Structure 1
């Protein structure tokens, strides 16, 4: 990574060869802080030091998405290379933590990362909303059945994503660890709870809105609720912070929250879960 102009330097010395910097619609870079250099000459020196006499035949620097105005002199993004770039830079302690999460809670880690990436990518590619959102009218006619799952991995905006992912972070990783300790199939059980709840929570909406062509919905609130309440079953006496401020026993919060969901459903509100209430787990 080159600090001076915010670029990344890539080569064909990898399994994907020259295709890596051309074919993918989104390019995700995961790098160590030690790979950050000041200038292009420093990056070339790094390449020379790393590969020695086996210097790659293709070395390229990338600064942002592909841009071209060759067609009718209109600026087009992503025509000849990836349209979006996301860069993660990790220090060693963070890498150790990342390794820990992947080893101890692999399912939750993958869901967390995949939801973040797909949601952020969709924010800048709004045409995907129509393809990925739940559409009960189509599903009732056996079309676009895949949206039952895909709608749970995208979010309306940053606030929607933030609240859901904060709750997921505080409860999903702990739940998978407890399930893994209780059963050799714990990781599989967590996947069943999350994905199964994602599907089941959409069924009432599909039934209610099956003749409403203009109705769409999205978000992981149903699955997040399942994770939250599953965690409460394991630890009902823990203290939950409502709105990150108000302390409340978990079992009391569960009853109040269910009451809120019933009331909100009668008011035909959407996003019943974390768009309204943010939760934090306080250790007793």
Structure 2
């Protein structure tokens, strides 16, 4: 019976992967056709996103919020994440950008992308800081950490999750990716789907995070051209390895999601009845 349940769950997850390949026609956005996330002038960006519910903070407020950058949560490709608290005591995660390329393109990618989307399986932007060369993003805090903590439990030879819990996590990630590809005004390619970038919220609801490598383009396009590989080894799609000019589509995220599932499903034999 247990083997049958595992097989059923695996089949369901594979079905979800396949469903992400299905295209649905939607109305093309913007008056100029396609929009891609490059680093524009600060004033123009803030004007375009003036209706955001995210709050703009000064750097002094960010420093106060993080208790003078005291509690480090993790390290990313372009910055460090610290725990902070809003004035009302609400815990938050503050990402301070440390590296900058192409006039801070990675910051604008993340700011513009995450600022225009809202989904239960995508981490929510609460605020930001743009002050001189200083950049910071304020996100909702997820006390359960990242999915990487779970996949790392394979090495330790233990896992406290039932297959149903793993199935729900995988399904939530799939819904988040499907929203990025089909449910937004523009199609968004994340380019770095991996356990480290999946945060686990209340009741272990997964949240896709870290949009520093993201690209968006109108849905009328079937591919987008990039000049350099994006992603993480072991999760990056094969087509991103070859050639100087790379033509990719949102299906590269689907490949990364499949590799993520392999990491998660590798634990199903160690599942415990504790959760």
TM above 0.5, one fold? no
Q: Determine which structure has greater relative contact order: mean sequence separation of CA pairs < 8 Å that are 6+ residues apart, divided by chain length.
A: 2
Q: Larger Cα Rg: Structure 1 or Structure 2?
A: 1
Q: Which structure has the highest strand share of the two?
A: 2
Structure with more of its chain in helix, by fraction: 1
Query: TM (normalized to structure 2)?
Result: 0.30
Structure 1-normalised TM-score? 0.29
